[in-house]
Structure 1
Amino acid sequence: MSWIAEFFDDVYLDFMQYYRGEEATRQEALFIQKALGISPGKRVLDVACGHGRHMAHMPRDSVVGVDINVKYLKYAKRFGDVVAGDVRNPPFRRGAFHGAYIMHSTLGMFGPEADLEILTWLSGIIKPGGRLLVDVANKAKIEDIYAALGETWNFWISAGPYRVLSTAHYNPLHSKIREVRQIYKAGKYLGERVLELTLYGLGELRIMLSTVGFVVEAAYGDFNGEEYRRGSDRLIVVAMKTSGVSKALEEAVKWTK
């Protein structure tokens, strides 16, 4: 079983109700609506929608959710249409959506090759002129922590009754961070979970997006609209779909076959 299947369980679902509660989720959803220009008649895709945390605060019939976790989709379908599918190969026709958003470092969970594959598919299903929002952990801030503390450091995460001791390991050669989390709820130990991410900087995301036909329009450091800075917790990029996959990428794919 992959770390992803083990990580996104009932404990994570409960933890998120406290970690990113109703008010924080509503603020994120409003930011997404504004960034993507969601309005009546426009349909956008929630990539890896999970239990529908953001769908719950979107205009009705404006968002379709896709996720591979069928158990989470049972919750998400209360807020709109959902589809069970792998985000690395979403089951939608070309130009099906006016925009899409991929949140909470989902881009980064599968590795560089698969992440570029995800962006390529999203380029295909978003109409020209549509927008894509990508939210990832801020690589620059994590690299500054690495420079100050070394390759391993510990920190606590508190959320409602939860206390989580996280031990982070950063590999700068591969831009990968691995967190081993010891989870406690109301003083009771619930076990260990592992999170692994490939991190991307603003320049790297710009190149990846441009390769598959997007132009970056803005970068933010928070869902309150704060401009992106090196010390921001998040890197939130908004990009517009302008064209198809670049000739260079097409030739590279042909060459590997």
Structure 2
Amino acid sequence: MDFFGELYLRSTLPFLSESVTAREADYLARVFADVPGPEPVADLGCGHGRHAARLQASGPLAGRVIGLERDALSLAMRRPGFPVVRGDLRALPFREGSLSGAYAWYSTLFAFTDEEHVRILREVARALRRGGLLVFHTVPHERLAASPGAAFQRTLPDGAVLEEASRFDVATGRDEGRRTLTLRDGRVLSASYAIRYYPLAELTALLESTGFSISWVHGGLDGEPLTRLSADLIVGAVLRDA
């Protein structure tokens, strides 16, 4: 089973409250407020469109958001009001220089191999206009290194039981785990995952090698500086002139 399919959607939806989504969308609206136009801004791995629908409806990105998603169920359940294409991050279905910006949330860009991460960032660089803005969210390497092991079991509001165990390898920067969701009808969804978390210095080098320059690094949705205690790592990077 593909981890980023029905399992991921059904196990994460209960934790994505409207208040959480509103705060994240407000952050994105602020950082994209001055993005050049009129080209669209892509939500890379838009899922069911919780950010895209809000940003498309009002604010500085109103009418300019386009979603990209691979999972068919997420597309079937997406919120209305914004255009979306089905596609893969490693081969973006966008023309060269056709986007003013792009964003990706919850480590979406880094659920592949290191070689594929280079390919993904080069694809984003190809699709962006010069000076275009890439914004992405992940978790600080240091936070995972401080607590490398995690395991939990929880009953979700719909009665499904969610179980997960993971282990972060500090040397490789990969968090590997397995998630199992037992639905009320007895059906079991289970899959393994591996997500790469880069130290900031490595992330900076990766971005620079693929044509980007970091404009800012935030440790949270209020734009606060990144510290050893930060729960979030949010990066804004601009595509350099050739």
Alignment equivalent of 1:13, drawn from 5, 9, 12:
9
1:1-257 aligned within 5 A:
6-37=2-33, 41-60=38-57, 61-76=63-78, 78-146=80-148, 152-156=149-153, 160-161=157-158, 164-183=162-181, 190-244=188-242
State the SS of the aligned residue for 1:196. strand
Cα distance in structure 2, aligned partners of 1:153 and 1:80 = 36
Give the C-alpha shift of residue 153 in structure 1.
4.0
Partner AA of 2:229 in structure 1: G
Displacement of 1:173 after TM fit? 2.8
Is contact 1:27-1:224 (8 Å) kept? no
For 2:189 and 2:45, locate their aligned partners in 1 and report how far apart those are by CA, in whole Å: 25
Residues 55 and 76 in structure 1, CA contact (< 8 A), matched pair in contact too: no
Write the distance in 2 (CA, Å) between the matches of 1:41 and 1:81.
Answer: 16
* Distance 1:83-1:47 versus aligned 2 partners, 3 A rule: same
Q: Taking structure 2 as the reference length, what is the TM-score of the superposition?
A: 0.85
Change (3 A) 1:157 1:210: farther
Q: Residues 15 and 79 of structure 1: is their aligned pair in 2 closer, same or farther, counting only changes over 3 Å?
A: farther
Structure 2: distance between partners of 1:38 and 1:57: 18
Identify the residue that residue 60 of structure 2 maps to in structure 1.
none
Deviation per CA, 1:191-226, whole angstroms, max 9, x where unpaired? 533221111121111111111221111111222323
Distance in 1, Cα, partners of 2:6 & 2:124? 29
Gapped regions of structure 1 (runs ≥ 5): 147-151, 245-257
Which amino acid counterpart does residue 98 of structure 1 have in structure 2? S
Compute the displacement of 1:177 (Å). 0.9
Kindly tell me: are residues 20 and 159 of structure 1, through their superposed partners in 2, closer, same or farther at Cα, counting changes over 3 Å? farther
Distance in 2, Cα, partners of 1:153 & 1:59 = 36
Whether the aligned pair in 2 keeps the contact of 1:214 and 1:243 (CA below 8 Å) is no
Q: Aligned partner of 2:197: which letter?
A: L
CA RMSD of aligned residues (A): 2.5
Please say if residues 56 and 82 of structure 2, whose CA atoms lie closer than 8 Å, have aligned partners that are also in contact. no
- The CA distance in 2 between the partners of 1:231 and 1:98, in whole Å, is 33
**Structure number with higher helix proportion:** 1
Q: Percent identity?
A: 26
Post-superposition offset of 1:126: 1.1
TM-score (norm 1): 0.81
- Contact 2:6–2:73 (CA<8 Å) still a contact in 1? no
1:143-177, CA deviations, whole angstroms, 9 ceiling, x for partnerless residues? 1113xxxxx44245676456533221222332111
Q: Deviations over 1:32-59 (max 9, x none)?
A: 1211226784520111112112112113
Q: Contact 1:131–1:240 (CA<8 Å) still a contact in 2?
A: yes
